Amino acid sequence: MNAFTLLPFIVLIAAMFLMTRSAKKKQQQAANMRNEMQPGSGVRTIGGMYATVKEVGEDTVLLDAGPGVELLFAKNSIGAVLTDDEYNRIVHGIEHDLKSDADIVPDDASSLTESDESDSPAAAASDDKAVDLGKKDASEDGTDAAEAAEAKADDEPKKTDGDSDAK
């Protein structure tokens, strides 16, 4: 046999060996991560639920998903063990900001349009009265929405199935 005919088989076997080796390495890392879990750490399950570890058993984990909600999961169903900062950011919305002295960006544009000179004509015009573009309640108009709907229903002819008036 020629060496060139065996070369594709050798390359295929080497590729399969490398792929199984990397998969085993990932499985070992996941098993180590699950074994290092301890009560109080935040986790994400493979289903996407975030919870706090309450108890760790040999094959199971008791998770605290909320006040009064305790769930028993298999250890293999834990997708990731999160750091405290990451868990608080995702679950509670608490941002751990290293730059606490940074400028705060306002939620609305009102602070961007305010001028320092309050006696300018534009500032005087803006202080007059704010324009409300929202819907007004029916009680402000003096008519009730239910009464208006009843009056409209009385004006329209009632629909029938057509059998009673046909001859």
pTM of the model: 0.46
pLDDT of residue 164: 56
Chain Cα centroid distance, residue 12:
43
Helices (H) and strands (E) in the chain — how many of each? Answer: 6, 5
Classify 72 in phi/psi space as left (phi over 0), alpha (psi -120 to 50) or beta.
beta
Residue 34 to residue 78: CA distance in whole angstroms:
7
Which domains can be identified in the chain, with CATH numbers? 10-92 (2.30.30.30)
Q: Are 61 and 55 in contact (CB under 8 A)?
A: yes
**Each residue's pLDDT tens digit in the chain (167 positions)?**
677 888 888 899 999 988 888 888 888 888 888 888 889 889 999 999 999 999 998 889 999 988 889 999 999 899 888 888 888 888 888 776 555 545 666 667 666 666 555 555 555 555 567 777 777 665 555 555 556 556 555 666 666 665 555 55
Do 7 and 47 meet the contact criterion of CB atoms below 8 Å apart?
Answer: no
